Amino acid sequence: MGLYRKTIAEIHGLLKKGEVTSKDVTASVLKRIDELDDRVHAYVTVTRDMAMASADAADRRILSGDFPLLCGIPIAIKDNMCINGIRTTCSSRILENFIPPYESTVTSRFLEQGYVLTGKTNLDEFAMGSSTENSAFFTTRNPWDLERIPGGSSGGSAAAVAGDECIAALGSDTGGSIRQPAALCGVVGLKPTYGRVSRYGLVAFASSLDQIGPITKDVRDSAILMNVISGHDPMDSTSAPVTAPDFTAVLGMEIKGMRIGIPKEYFIEGMDKDVDVSVREAIKRLESLGAVPVEVTLPHTGYAIATYYILATSEASSNLARYDGVKYGFREAGKDLLEMYMNTRARGFGAEVKRRIMLGTYALSSGYYEAYYKKAQQVRTLIKRDFDEAFKSVDVIVTPTAPTAAFRLGEKTEDPLQMYLSDIFTISVNLAGVPGISIPCGFTSNNLPIGLQLIGKHFDEETILKAAYAYEQSTDWHERKPKI
């Protein structure tokens, strides 16, 4: 079996025994990228030379015998996290040549451990989308079916993990962008509690919702990455001063007696039949492991998408004001300053980003602010209270991650509302600020992966990881690989 197929935990074990070197592993992953990526298009930038140099450095550290878990492990980073000296594009023309002069907190923690960066992965422009079709550069393909989208916005990271073009990856999730592509690509994706992971160096889309998290081949690797990226960071004022536990400690613990909430609003008309069947079977499986199902209600679910698209666009319109042709390189000349701004933004942003800036500017403008933005904030509180209420009687909430499996390229591009509905099960989690994980739970009749979402209480990633691991250990979905 190729080394590129392995998990972080497996490679760490091999490195420890001296059976392989980081250079072997890195070369294997780079070769895999060469073989696949002209079909999958997961990467915007492959940092080949740097990867081999980092592997070499890691091997010297490994010789000393004592080295951290990520030392020598090839990892891909979504291209909206800043890495000092490496182009960070957000898959946008406006940042096409932006080379950040600083390092995000998450990647600086990886650097301390001696990780190997394989490159930066594709996304929907500024993380706005559910398919990577909004990337200004190209669309990433789903390794399970190259005619289908990998989900989004972290589609590049999810496809890279599913195709074994890296050992693990980081994504970001504002309304589902880690969990939905993880589900559609058959891998594990975790969105931590808001404030659990520092956003320093993450290019802002909607700051009150954005959160960085791991996309991995299995649940153990998810916990391993959580251990490194979690915890307070003085560089991010919204990072919570909460000490992170050892997330791997709960793996293998029993889930007997765990109360799992099944929200009736999440099993709806329009959901794909195969998804419905697989998720119900997964719930039965959890029951057979000792979990106790409890019906719960999240009554404001129906307002989540509307609320999200007011709040996220409002925050985006404000965050994206900084791309003016002056601060970030890309500039389209004009006869005066105002025309230069307008030309730059007209040429630099794609259609979806412009649509959102306009929606958000409208929602924040005087006269409409009370009717839209303020109202949406109030509904957000109601949605959060729904979760608080439900969590009084259950430990986790179980839902499908997405209403369908991967759709065909172009299938939803003409109708933004259809595209927005892809996140119907993930968006409330961001609005409430709670953590959620997506794990593989089956396949459709045409062999496309299906994801199960486990939602936890604030700062209780441990319980969802524990349940996810117990489920994963009793199935082999995560071991199946696309034939590519």
User: Between residues 86 and 90, which has the closer beta carbon with respect to ligand GLN?
Assistant: 90
Q: Known catalytic residue: 191? A: no
The span from the CA of 280 to the CA of 294, in Å, is 13
CB of 209 to ligand GLN, least distance (A): 8
Q: Which two tokens stand for residue 351?
A: 């259609």
Residue 153 designated active-site: yes
Rank residues 68 and 416 by Cβ distance to ligand GLN and give the closer one: 416
Instruction: List CB contacts of 452: < 8 A, sequence separation 6 or more.
Output: 278, 279, 282, 398, 399, 400, 401, 438, 439, 440, 441, 471
**Closer residue to ligand GLN (CB): 176 or 403:** 176
Whole-number minimum distance, CB 421 to ligand GLN, in Å? 10
As a dihedral over the C-alpha atoms of residue 176, residue 385, residue 317, residue 44, rounded to 10 degrees, the angle is: -20
Which C-beta is closer to ligand GLN: that of 176 or that of 451? 176
| Nearest-angstrom CA–CA distance, 356 and 257 | 45
According to CB under 6 A, which residues from 261 to 320 bind ligand GLN? 312
At 204, give phi and psi (nearest 5°): -75, 135
**d(Cα 367, Cα 362) in Å, to the nearest integer?**
9
Pattern of binders to ligand GLN over 372-411, x per CB under 6 A?
----------------------------------------
Minimum distance between the CB of residue 130 and ligand GLN, rounded to whole angstroms?
4
How far is the CA of 363 from the CAs of 256, 259, 377, 416, in angstroms? Answer: 47, 40, 12, 18
**For residues 357 and 85, what is the distance between their CA atoms, to the nearest angstrom?**
29
x/- letters, 122..161, toward ligand GLN (CB under 6 A): -----xxxx----------------------x--------
Which residue of the set 28, 130, 153, 278 is catalytic? 153
Q: What's the CA dihedral at 188, 83, 151, 133 to 10 degrees?
A: -170
Number of residues in contact with ligand GLN under rule CB under 6 A: 13
Q: How far is the CB of 188 from ligand GLN (least distance, A)?
A: 17
By C-beta, is 46 or 304 nearer to ligand GLN? 304
Distance of alpha carbon 430 from alpha carbon 173, whole angstroms: 8
Identified catalytic residue from 6, 22, 54, 78? 78
Restricting to residues 158-187, which ones interact with ligand GLN according to CB under 6 A?
173-177
Q: Is 428 in the site for ligand GLN (CB under 6 A)?
A: no
Q: Cβ closer to ligand GLN: 29 or 316?
A: 316
Closest distance of CB 104 from ligand GLN, Å: 16
Q: How many CB atoms neighbour CB 8 within 10 A? A: 24
- Number of Cβ atoms within 10 Å of the Cβ of 465: 28
Q: Distance (Å, rounded) from C-alpha 339 to C-alpha 325?
A: 11
Which residues between 196 and 225 bind ligand GLN (CB under 6 A)? Answer: 205
Residue pair 460/432 in contact by the 8 Å Cβ criterion: no
**What residue type is 172 in one-letter code?**
S
User: Closest-CB residue for ligand GLN?
Assistant: 177
Supply the minimum distance, in Å, between the C-beta of residue 179 and ligand GLN.
9
Residue with smaller CB distance to ligand GLN, 194 or 205 = 205
Residue recorded with tokens 């419905």: 276
CB atoms under 10 Å from CB of 323, counted, come to 24
How many whole angstroms separate alpha carbon 74 and alpha carbon 31? 12
Q: Residue 32 Cβ, how far from ligand GLN at the closest point, in Å?
A: 27
Asked if 393 is an active-site residue, the reply is no
List the catalytic residue out of 154, 172, 177, 230: 177
Q: How far apart are CA 304 and CA 156, in angstroms?
A: 26
Active site residues: 78, 153, 177
* Residue numbers at the binding site for ligand GLN (CB under 6 A): 127-130, 153, 173-177, 205, 312, 423
